[in-house]
Chain A
């Protein structure tokens, strides 16, 4: 038992250590997907894999970096950890994500004893998948690129040249990729240094005692928030549009939320079996989605650590698309995760009216263009997410043109940067009027973004949430679904939402319209009320 003063100082120091790791990673990364999209996360863990501090650019990486250290230990035993080693893992069925999300982690030794772990995850631009940057139509993980881990990238502080060589020969942009990996290693070293300092300052036993108290405090706050919800079983359901291969078959996702006293259970077993296309994820990510919904609804301001999710259980079904097994394709592992988040909110909306909001536009809505830039003769990949409308709530309109819920601080690509880096021109970027759901409180609007291609290129699209577009709450209308048109108003006009590596010609144009958010309360009610 430590005194509350020491406990609070140690808590702040651990949280700060995670922030410092994140700063190190973002500022030294080489690719926009990390520094612009913040497609990364870091965690400082104790020796039992509990989160001491976490900082995430992407909400969806919440609380699942520790699966990597835990899995490594399960595979190789606790004695595998050696001071100065750094490991790497990107296996979708362990980490839950696509192969592009690579976790780099290392043990932390204090006075010869294992004291904890530092871990960082970042999106690598290309893993050597069959199409540059990743495929919209992969049907097995073996088409999705280099699959690693757990393996060492540094041993006793020295780089493992063999693995570096394997990576360099398997990815399309080796300089940037290895640069990003070094940024992740720096981040791990920062975490190691910080935890070592903290342990040296207060002593291992004091830090552990403080940790137990910090977790207990957090757990108390979480339990109090759950206890305020009426007990009951709450359900909702929706659909993923399709798996990217069979475009005619929607895939159901149903969630059952059970609130009992101070605990909450999220059952995700009632969903489609693992699909042919790349819409599968490892169970770890389905758990993360439930955690994001839990934080959004219950405890956005409660500090995140090993106590945060103790009152939450998540059930998944092995072999389903939310707990996929080899060799399921996982490139678009996140579309249904955004859906789960909105569905948990919808299920609990009747009992949490002051916290819920109508559904958001739903997905990252990816526009990916790759080819050889005629200006430089070099291969390039441009990958953009599209912002859209968020849901209204009792007392406020939803925000327009905001990044989706599985993403956090992702910023759109500046037109001036995009046109300078790639042979693409943006001719229109506007709010999409009327796309937000009507209601007493309006859903936010999506955007319209139009491109003109400056060279023959391959176009890939992943636009979602058209089967169950952003629903309203309390009688509010749903938002408009997304809409994408190639060559609008010209010969060869074609509407589509998902496509992989479609050849397009210089001069072709593309109009992307993102969905709006759901409205809150019917307009009629407003009229009667007035």
Chain B
């Protein structure tokens, strides 16, 4: 019982990171992802890491099984029960157009066709008072149809169930009686206790559509682990950045839908703690996309809703901003202009230098021509790159835009870097924060190659390249805590606030959340709970989540004024203005319970001996003789220019920057102007 193991199942590779509690040694390995049954890849990766399941003391992973089912439209067959009269809310999907100039606009195809909708009589008013009773016969009829036609899941979304869930609960009982355990029944108020019927319906449908797939997958993983002697529960990353055990994940599968990429953000949280820096920008650059997320004040930036494949989902999700920029992004000419991305060469044919038939130049080709990629070390030496093919691909474009090949190559990187810097700015603008107050943590195969340039663009002074940058998401999962988020609608104007009722409601939420943690085996002394309230000025829509000191705080004297002031401060920080005299309203209470897990205390291996080669690398149009260094040989400070190579990534240290291998195993680049 000595290994803590985390796994990130990506589109191409499954990464595994193992921490040996006895020696402090951390190791990473990877195996090909097995798209049909991800469990195969999980065990293959475990074998590569040479860990005996019986020796695992803790296991967690991020899985894309549910997401894949959605992307490929291979989810469950779902019946949807709606309130009578409003059956088409899901199909209408609020009627907006995401693209403004498109005469042939089509909405995403709904996951439930109109033929699989069933209307159920029964209605509440806005306060949850019953206007008409639930038509139980209609529910029974739908349940019988679901059974006879072999539906895999039933989603139920009735109007105002977030205020009064009784009708949904009763419908759930009838469905369970008729359908047993084989059919997943999803009640919208359990998925998301928030207003907006379309968004809540969409969330419930997504859970019903992906849930059976996730459940099957988790049962399989658990069974196979048990066969191999694993004696601890399997954990899963949630989209919120917190962990849950598989038993809970099978009850609330939706919360694991975006579990992969958030591992990196949780890694960012750990970096923030280890380096004692509260604010971190996490950038993950791979072959096709660039994901940015934030750690603010030591906490992951978590949004309360997201959109997946065009479908809204109400659940806590680490706020990831993604743009199409990666090593595979294509460079091309348009009306005399140079453009880079978002179209990508993907894995096949891939960049020209892969030698798989690609002829159009990509960002990776540009890096190769500039000497910033070592052809022998790419992907840990698993692939050799054809620099001549890159040069040929770039030369064609260079003619079209009137530049020489080397200048174009640097330009392609500059444009890609500028776009990535802008993506970061977009996310920080939404929060009203300045990027230059942050450190940038770079990971993914291509992140460390571009990070220093992006940082310079934004005036950021420090870049952190973690160990195993290619497997950082898995590493981050080892640093996450068990987490349960609860939300309750709490609609009241600031003037009418009943402080004791609010404290009571928060205490009730805390009790519920802590009980759930106890159910997942978290000991009492490792539990903590946080409270917050969603607020806005009367009439506003977007709310700000304002932290509370405790469940008891509302009943303390002067709370209303303190809360209004805290809200005004947050509004000013975020939007640059506030209206202190305007009435405020409270919309929802949020409670998060955390179960702290033991931290990794990684031993950093001593530097090994090894001399680097020196090669010309282009920076600012000039060839600089640049040492190519293995990361495990670094000691103390390494001034730029330098190229630092390791198994899964290459770090570029431009002239004017200094890289330093710190005691915690991080590579820290101080970015000079």
Which residues does A use to contact B, with CB under 8 Å? 3-5, 7-9, 11-13, 16, 19-20, 23-24, 27-32, 35-36, 56, 59, 173, 175-176, 178-179, 182-183, 185-186, 189-190, 213-214, 216-218, 220-221, 224, 292, 295-297, 300, 345, 355-357, 387, 390-391, 393, 396, 399-403, 408-412, 414-417, 419-420, 425-431, 447, 450
Contact = CB atoms under 8 A, between A and B. Distances in A.
Nearest to A9: B418
B88 A13 contact: no
Contacts of B402: 4
B579 A401 contact: no
Contact of A217 (B100, B198, B334, B426): B334
B92 A401 contact: yes
B334 A411 contact: no
A13 B94 contact: no
B414 to A, nearest CB: 6
A169 to B, nearest CB: 16
Given A4-B337, A217-B336, A403-B95, A28 B422 contact: no
Given A175-B579, A396-B104, A221 B414 contact: no
A36 B160 CA distance: 20
A7 B411 contact: no
A399 B577 contact: no
Interface string B396-416: 000001110001101100110
A516 to B, nearest CB: 14
Q: Which has the most chain B C-beta neighbours within 10 Å: A5, A11, A36, A403?
A: A5
B92 A175 contact: no
A305 B460 CA distance: 30
Given A9-B414, A179-B579, A409-B96, A30 B88 contact: no
Given A179-B540, A409-B100, A415-B86, 13 more contacts: A5-B415, A9-B415, A12-B415, A28-B542, A175-B581, A182-B577, A221-B334, A401-B95, A402-B105, A410-B95, A411-B94, A416-B195, A420-B195
10 contacts: A13-B422, A16-B426, A35-B540, A185-B577, A296-B101, A300-B102, A393-B103, A410-B96, A411-B94, A419-B125
B579 A297 contact: no
A24 B88 contact: no
A8 B422 CA distance: 13
Contact of A399 (B106, B336, B418): B106
Contact of A414 (B198, B408, B579): B198
Nearest to A397: B106
- Mostly, the A contact residues are helix
A430 B94 contact: no
B102 A415 contact: no
Contact of A412 (B92, B104, B411, B571): B92
Contact of B101 (A59, A179, A216, A401): A59
Interface string B86-117: 11110111111111111111110000001000
Nearest to B199: A414
Interface string B75-89: 000000000011111
Contacts of B105: 390, 399, 402
B525 interface: no
Contacts of B419: 12
B430 A27 contact: yes
Contacts of B101: 59, 292, 295-296, 300
A427 B85 contact: yes
A36 B541 contact: yes
A217 B335 contact: yes
Q: Which has the most chain B C-beta neighbours within 10 Å: A4, A7, A30, A59?
A: A4
B561 to A, nearest CB: 19
B292 interface: no
Given A30-B539, A428-B85, A447-B88, A402 B196 contact: no
Contacts of B491: 420
Nearest to B579: A179
B426 A426 contact: no
B537 interface: yes
B574 A403 contact: no
A16 B579 contact: no
A327 to B, nearest CB: 32
Given A5-B415, A417-B196, A429-B88, A411 B95 contact: yes
Contacts of B103: 296-297, 345, 355-357, 390-391, 393
B500 interface: no
Nearest to A221: B335
B558 interface: no
Given A175-B579, A411-B96, A447-B92, A35 B541 contact: yes
B284 to A, nearest CB: 20
A469 B401 CA distance: 49
A3 B539 CA distance: 48
B336 A417 contact: no
Contact of B579 (A31, A56, A178, A415): A178
B612 interface: no
Contacts of A3: 403, 407, 411
Interface string B326-360: 00000000111111100000000000000000000
B92 A429 contact: yes
A221 B339 CA distance: 14
Contacts of B542: 27-28, 35
Nearest to B336: A217
A450 B576 CA distance: 41
A417 B582 CA distance: 21
Q: Which has the most chain A C-beta neighbours within 10 Å: B92, B542, B581?
A: B92
Given A12-B422, A23-B426, A5 B414 contact: yes
Nearest to A394: B104
B168 interface: no
B662 interface: no
Q: Which has the most chain A C-beta neighbours within 10 Å: B336, B425, B575?
A: B575
A426 B86 contact: yes
Given A35-B540, A182-B579, A402 B107 contact: yes
Contacts of A411: 94-96
A374 B303 CA distance: 35
Interface in B577-621: 577, 579, 581-583
Contacts of A8: 337-340, 411, 415
Q: Which has the most chain B C-beta neighbours within 10 Å: A32, A178, A216, A387?
A: A387
Nearest to A185: B577
Nearest to B571: A28
A220 B334 CA distance: 10
A393 B414 CA distance: 41
A416 B126 contact: yes
A8 B334 CA distance: 11
